[in-house]
Structure 1
Amino acid sequence: MTYTQKEDVLAARSGEKDAFIRLMRDMERPLYRMARSMLRSDDECDDAVQETMLKAFRNIHTLREPNYFQTWIFRILINECHNIARKGARVVVTDEWSNLPARTDEYERIDVQQAVYQLPEPQRLVIAMHYFQDMPIQQIADVLELSAEAVKTRLHRARKTLMDWLSDEPGRGTRYETR
């Protein structure tokens, strides 16, 4: 967290609306990208982000430690995404791979995307946070209320599963279903 962001969190906590607006401008894209990794439609993502910002505004005074602002707001977002998913939407990972530097051709990247769609939600979440949001392991652990070891285990299992599915070895790379 930058010093300016910490100052804005403190100011927003004490009721300064402009400071809160600055915080939300900084967080809007990361929040949307995270929502997009969990929900299937743009409308659902917009709803999740909007509801997250509203809840953050109403409850920022309860944030005890300004250094944990990002962890706090991502936890709110994840809860909102789960609420939306429970209301009938199914949870899938979407086209976040376009933000990553491509080392493969388009067809291989599509295979990777399809494989990521098939990961269980706990693994998709840690992949999205670690690779799409560049969150360190400990921050992911804080957001998901897990130990750092549990996060590392989920990342390891997700990478192993993806490697198995996408391997060039005969009989591999075809175990996942296309939705």
Structure 2
Amino acid sequence: MVVEVKKAQEGDLDTFVKLIRQLESRLYGLAKSIVKRDEDCADAIQETLLKAYKSLNTLKKPEFFNTWIIRILINECNQVLRLRKRTIVMGELPETNYPIAAHGADHQTSDLQEAVDRLNDTLRLVVHLFYYQDLSVKQIAEILEISEGAVRARLHRARGVLADWMNSMRMNFAGI
């Protein structure tokens, strides 16, 4: 990947596009976990790609391309959320999440995803980066500009919240 990043830094647009295509689903999943709405995901990703392409020459270590672009995306998602708070759209309905009918393992997966979605923003972001983006604690700390200990603490707290929520779901299902 380092070779491709260097080629992109030298102005090879096709190589840049290839790099982005490799990250496309990861970027969308991360954006979706932060901003929730598809149109906001598209806006955040579009701005991310534009900023990344324009400032690609500022990336000093090509091996950190993935974490660099994820940091840009998180910043863009946060910008979208800030703008959303300031904008009042007449007649807009609040976003609703209807439960998904599922069975067996799919049901457990949807319950877990619902539990992750209910986490506060700081916990949900760390869980998403660690479990869905497969980033290390060190990479997450660099992206979020917090200590590795803070990342571990957030993961620990999130696991506890998720375990409690899943246990309460099991108890409710069992009729206890």
In the superposition, the TM-score normalised over structure 2's length comes to: 0.80
Q: How does 1:41-56 map to 2 (within 5 A)?
A: 41-56=37-52
Any stretches of 5+ residues in structure 1 without a counterpart?
Answer: 95-101, 174-179
Residue 76 of structure 1: how far off its partner (Å) = 0.2
State the alpha-carbon separation in 1 of the partners of residues 165 and 29 from structure 2.
25
Report if the CA contact (8 A) 2:33-2:128 is conserved. yes
In structure 2, the residue matched to 1:157 is 157
Deviations 1:23-71 (A, max 9, x none): 1111111111110111121111111111111100000000011111111
Residue 171 of structure 1: how far off its partner (Å) = 8.5
Deviations 1:89-133 (A, max 9, x none): 6xx9x9xxxxxxx97351x44433332222111100011111111
Identity of aligned residues (%): 42
In structure 1, the residue matched to 2:105 is 104
State the alpha-carbon separation in 2 of the partners of residues 127 and 8 from structure 1.
29
Superposed structure 1 runs of 4+ greater than 6 Å apart: 169-173
Letter of the structure 2 residue corresponding to residue 36 of structure 1: K
State the alpha-carbon separation in 2 of the partners of residues 135 and 127 from structure 1.
10
Q: How does 1:55-66 map to 2 (within 5 A)?
A: 55-66=51-62
In the superposition, the TM-score normalised over structure 1's length comes to: 0.79
Relative to structure 1, is the Cα distance of residues 152 and 172 closer, same or farther in structure 2, using a 3 angstrom cutoff? farther
State the alpha-carbon separation in 1 of the partners of residues 41 and 29 from structure 2.
9
1:79 aligns with 2:75: yes
State the alpha-carbon separation in 2 of the partners of residues 163 and 20 from structure 1.
41
In structure 1, the residue matched to 2:27 is 31
Q: State the structure with more CA Rg.
A: 2
State the alpha-carbon separation in 2 of the partners of residues 29 and 170 from structure 1.
32
State the alpha-carbon separation in 2 of the partners of residues 9 and 169 from structure 1.
46
3-state SS of 1:88 partner? helix
Letter of the structure 1 residue corresponding to residue 65 of structure 2: F
Report if the CA contact (8 A) 1:28-1:49 is conserved. no
Relative to structure 1, is the Cα distance of residues 30 and 109 closer, same or farther in structure 2, using a 3 angstrom cutoff? closer
3-state SS of 1:139 partner? helix
Report if the CA contact (8 A) 2:33-2:117 is conserved. no
Q: How does 1:87-166 map to 2 (within 5 A)?
A: 87-88=83-84, 104=105, 106=107, 108-166=108-166
Please, what is the CA RMSD of the aligned residues? 2.5
What is the number of residues matched between the two proteins? Answer: 158
